[in-house]
């Protein structure tokens, strides 16, 4: 969490806020980390989300029925809009009708000076405080239910979004799960970014947003602004390696053409006279990741090298990582003093952007007798993982997760009119009726690894 919160802070605008949801298990640790990263002076709220829960008399403690949401701002210039809930019946009972039928009440000034008249239709509502007891968990039969274990109700995230963003602004959830934040943002007229390392989360969110987008096309947005219903799914940061950290070291050694060292307990290989160490690849490399390396150095051999050539480095080292703390080199040099070492950090995300770890998918799409026909689809990385050749694929539909079709592609944003996402035991159709008004047709086929092929077909060709 620490590394991710550091990155989240850097991504926030000066008017931005961050909300971190947690339960009773670790919320005290999260609060300490947030104080360190954002500063205790930027703490804004400890929100208590109190919800219904079954109570058991056999439990030897008070039954648990709330979670915590911590709110921090980036700066003192953060955006804020007060949120209201409708007044309850007990409050409304205090009002009476005037001759025009308007509900009002007389408020007597306790310090003197007469009374003032308050009309109910001029009171926006009851200001929402830091205890939220009016939002239940997602009902098992609710329309928004995604059968995702950590799913939050849209109303919970919607309140946060409306309080801390303006229409059209950008909302980011780096642990998007079932896509509740993205769903709420789309419905509230905000732009959004979501990320998750869980393949199932990406699939669930994509399907959910496509359904919401189709619904929103039929209705106007309440208030100012507009709906942002077009979105794209990206496989970024060599996601295939992040998903398979056990295989990552071998893949990187091969891609970087490193000569593997079979018997070294410190380094993973050698290249161009430099000793190579592959750092953890499923997160940014930190000072703590250097400890094993520092403990394994052969300091006796270094001493001999330094005595022989005092002005030359005793070791040339390359650290291979996917994101790193900016002072990683300085930290390693400081930890190995008085020895002089030559440290190079190879950041795959920054320095090796074009490094290829996977092969592009292939597909054959054509229009035949008024139908769009997907004749072939070869997801090359999936085939490689399954140890299959193209010739052995009997039915490409078994390898496809979804097909999206935009009948009038504008060259920039895919806005699918056909969303073919089959059920658990079904396959995609593969043949689709072309409408009469179709122009440039864009097809996106996603395989079972969530890797996609996209292509364009002109109607009539």
Query: Distance between CA 136 and CA 142 in Å, rounded?
Result: 11
Looking at 231, 265, 298, which one is the last position of a domain?
231
Lowest mean pLDDT among 139-148, 165-174, 225-234, 317-326: 225-234
Q: Let me know whether 373 and 398 are in one domain.
A: yes
Q: Let me know whether 52 and 105 are in one domain.
A: no
Query: Distance between CA 123 and CA 144 in Å, rounded?
Result: 32
Residue 242's pLDDT is what?
A: 61
Q: What is the dihedral of CA 352, 353, 354, 355, to 10 degrees?
A: 50
Quick check: 95 and 103 in contact, CB under 8 A?
A: yes
- With b for 16 or more beta-carbon neighbours within 10 A and e for fewer, the 296-319 pattern comes to ebeeeebeebbeeeeeeebbbbbb
Residue 123 scores a pLDDT above 70: yes
Say if 135 falls within a structural domain: no
Say if 401 falls within a structural domain: yes
Q: Let me know whether 278 and 213 are in one domain.
A: no
Q: Let me know whether 46 and 118 are in one domain.
A: no
Lookup result for tokens 């159709």: 429
Q: How many CB atoms lie within 10 A of CB 154?
A: 23
Residue 73 scores a pLDDT above 60: yes
pTM: 0.68
Give the length of the chain. 461
- Local confidence band at 372 (pLDDT 50, 70, 90 cut-offs): very high
Say if 134 falls within a structural domain: no
Q: Let me know whether 155 and 225 are in one domain.
A: yes
Residue 358's pLDDT is what?
A: 63
Q: Let me know whether 254 and 287 are in one domain.
A: yes
Q: Let me know whether 423 and 398 are in one domain.
A: yes
- The domain in which residue 99 lies consists of 85-127
Say if 206 falls within a structural domain: yes
Which has more pLDDT, 354 or 231? 231
- Local confidence band at 460 (pLDDT 50, 70, 90 cut-offs): low
- Given CA atoms 396, 401, 407, 412 in this order, what sign does their dihedral have? negative
When mean pLDDT is compared over 126-135, 206-215, 230-239, 275-284, the highest value belongs to: 126-135
Say if 3 falls within a structural domain: yes
Check which CATH number belongs to the domain holding 169 and give it. 3.40.50.150
DSSP bridge pairs for 105? 118
Query: Distance between CA 40 and CA 31 in Å, rounded?
Result: 9
Say if 442 falls within a structural domain: yes
Query: Distance between CA 31 and CA 407 in Å, rounded?
Result: 49
Q: Let me know whether 370 and 384 are in one domain.
A: yes
Query: Distance between CA 45 and CA 26 in Å, rounded?
Result: 17
Say if 133 falls within a structural domain: no
Q: Let me know whether 220 and 249 are in one domain.
A: no
What's the token pair of residue 383? 């085939």
Q: How many CB atoms lie within 10 A of CB 34?
A: 22
Quick: pLDDT tens for 166-187.
Answer: 999 999 999 999 999 999 999 9
Query: Distance between CA 405 and CA 445 in Å, rounded?
Result: 9
Check which CATH number belongs to the domain holding 372 and give it. 2.60.40
As a whole number, mean pLDDT of residues 74-99 equals 92
What's the token pair of residue 315? 């070791």
Q: Let me know whether 267 and 344 are in one domain.
A: yes
Q: What is the dihedral of CA 229, 149, 7, 158, to 10 degrees?
A: 50
Query: Distance between CA 26 and CA 30 in Å, rounded?
Result: 6
Say if 357 falls within a structural domain: no
- If one counts the domains in the chain, the total is 5
- Local confidence band at 141 (pLDDT 50, 70, 90 cut-offs): confident
Query: Distance between CA 68 and CA 26 in Å, rounded?
Result: 10
Q: Let me know whether 249 and 345 are in one domain.
A: yes
Q: Let me know whether 310 and 226 are in one domain.
A: no
Query: Distance between CA 363 and CA 378 in Å, rounded?
Result: 6
């Amino acid at each position: 969490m620490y590394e991710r919160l550091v990155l989240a802070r850097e991504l926030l605008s000066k008017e931005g806020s961050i909300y971190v949801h947690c339960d009773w298990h670790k919320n005290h640790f999260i609060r300490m980390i947030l104080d360190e990263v954002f500063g205790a002076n930027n703490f804004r709220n400890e929100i208590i989300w109190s919800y219904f829960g079954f109570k058991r008399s056999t439990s030897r403690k008070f039954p648990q029925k709330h979670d915590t949401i911590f709110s921090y701002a980036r700066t003192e210039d953060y955006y804020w809009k007060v949120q209201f809930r409708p007044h309850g019946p007990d409050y409304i009972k205090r009002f009476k009708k005037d001759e025009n039928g308007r509900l009002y009440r007389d408020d007597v000034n306790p310090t003197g000076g007469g009374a003032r008249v308050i009309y109910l239709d001029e009171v926006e509502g009851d200001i929402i405080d830091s205890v939220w007891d009016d939002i239940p968990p997602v009902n098992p039969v609710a329309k928004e239910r995604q059968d995702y274990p950590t799913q939050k109700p849209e109303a919970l995230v919607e309140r946060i979004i409306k309080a801390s963003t303006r229409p059209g602004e950008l909302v980011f959830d780096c642990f998007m799960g079932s896509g509740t934040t993205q769903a709420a943002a789309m419905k509230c007229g905000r732009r959004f970014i979501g990320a998750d390392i869980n393949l199932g989360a990406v699939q669930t969110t994509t399907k959910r947003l496509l359904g919401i987008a189709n619904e929103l096309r039929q209705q106007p947005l309440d208030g100012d602004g507009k709906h942002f219903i077009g979105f794209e799914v990206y496989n970024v940061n060599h996601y295939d390696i992040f998903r398979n950290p056990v295989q990552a070291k071998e893949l990187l050694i091969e891609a970087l053409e490193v000569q593997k060292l079979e018997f070294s307990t410190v380094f993973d290989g050698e290249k161009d006279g430099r000793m190579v160490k592959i750092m953890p690849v499923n997160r940014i490399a930190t000072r703590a990741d250097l400890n094993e390396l520092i403990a394994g150095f052969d300091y006796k051999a270094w001493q001999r090298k330094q005595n022989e050539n005092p002005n030359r480095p005793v070791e040339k080292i390359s650290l291979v990582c996917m994101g790193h703390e900016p002072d990683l080199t300085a930290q390693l040099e400081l930890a190995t003093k008085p020895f002089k070492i030559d440290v190079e950090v190879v950041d795959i995300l920054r320095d090796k952007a074009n490094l290829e770890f996977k092969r592009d998918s292939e597909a054959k799409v054509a229009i035949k007798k008024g139908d769009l026909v997907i004749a072939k689809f070869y997801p090359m990385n999936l085939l490689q993982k399954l140890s299959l050749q193209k010739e052995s694929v009997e039915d490409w539909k078994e390898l496809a997760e979804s097909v999206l079709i935009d009948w009038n592609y504008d060259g920039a944003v895919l806005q699918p009119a056909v969303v073919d996402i089959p059920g658990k035991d079904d396959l995609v159709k593969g043949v689709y009726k072309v409408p009469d008004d179709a122009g440039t047709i864009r097809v996106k086929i996603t395989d079972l690894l969530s890797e996609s092929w996209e292509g364009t077909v002109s109607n009539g060709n």
